[in-house]
Chains A and B, each alone.
Chain A
């Protein structure tokens, strides 16, 4: 993923994460200062979390 795609993906996944608003604001403020390696790590963790939430959602609503 390019730097721009990573940032876009993170911003989308941040909205779906269960983290509190204070932490969302923290990552948003830090994004411009993070390099690609750091962005990739954050994006991976967020994608895993959103997947886990969606699994719970589908399990409940199946």
Chain B
């Protein structure tokens, strides 16, 4: 049997990225039109109503405050779910005394797995509940803009897409990767990011 033609991996990725938006957003409407003879606009009410219901169900699955140990998030991403629980319970404020380096390291695979899952599979309209407040945060955008490795490109991608959730998650993944692999050290963060964010910081 002849070997199939080898396509360079970079081309596969490029093609997937180029067609991602069309595949994810337009094909559903085409399918609907072909199957039922109904335009997307004719079922817009049904689509919105049941998207909300499914979003509620998804929220139940992700809700680690109810039936701990039973939810999908707790089973699949136990360390991240604990962090979310901690941050939720303190209103998002950082807790002094936590050994964040150790915890970040042990959660590395989960952070990468969870952010990949969120970016690839969770609908953008649901993700915006989380990413819009991040996009509107001066601290986050300042951090991205001053990031030592390709920060300008990440920030312009986010701004240019009006806070596209995928671009925000991509930036979080890139920054996490830089810290986890030591590409961006605490010293560089201190010198470049903090001094960039706070002009009078010394």
Contacts and interface: CB of A to CB of B under 8 A. Distances in A.
Given A57-B36, A60-B38, A30 B72 contact: yes
Contacts of A19: 28, 47, 50-51, 54, 123
Interface in B18-53: 23-25, 27-28, 32, 35-38, 40, 42-43, 46-47, 49-51, 53
Most chain-B Cβ atoms within 10 A of its Cβ — which of A16, A34, A53, A61? A53
Interface residues of B, number: 33
Interface in B67-125: 70, 72, 75-76, 117, 120-124
B61 interface: yes
B70 A35 contact: yes
Contacts of A52: 46, 49-50
A18 B50 contact: yes
Q: How large is the interface on A (under 10, 10 to 19, 20 to 34, 35 or more residues)?
A: 20 to 34
A31 to B, nearest CB: 11
A23 B37 contact: no
A7 to B, nearest CB: 15
A32 B75 CA distance: 12
B180 interface: no
Contacts of A23: 51, 54, 121-123
A16 B35 contact: yes
B57 A42 contact: yes
B61 A38 contact: yes
Nearest to A57: B36
B61 A20 contact: no
Nearest to A30: B72
A25 interface: yes
Contacts of B43: 18, 53, 56
Interface of B: 23-25, 27-28, 32, 35-38, 40, 42-43, 46-47, 49-51, 53-54, 57, 60-61, 70, 72, 75-76, 117, 120-124
Given A18-B28, A49-B53, 17 more contacts: A18-B43, A21-B23, A21-B24, A22-B24, A22-B121, A22-B123, A26-B122, A30-B61, A33-B76, A35-B70, A38-B60, A38-B61, A52-B46, A52-B50, A53-B43, A57-B37, A57-B38
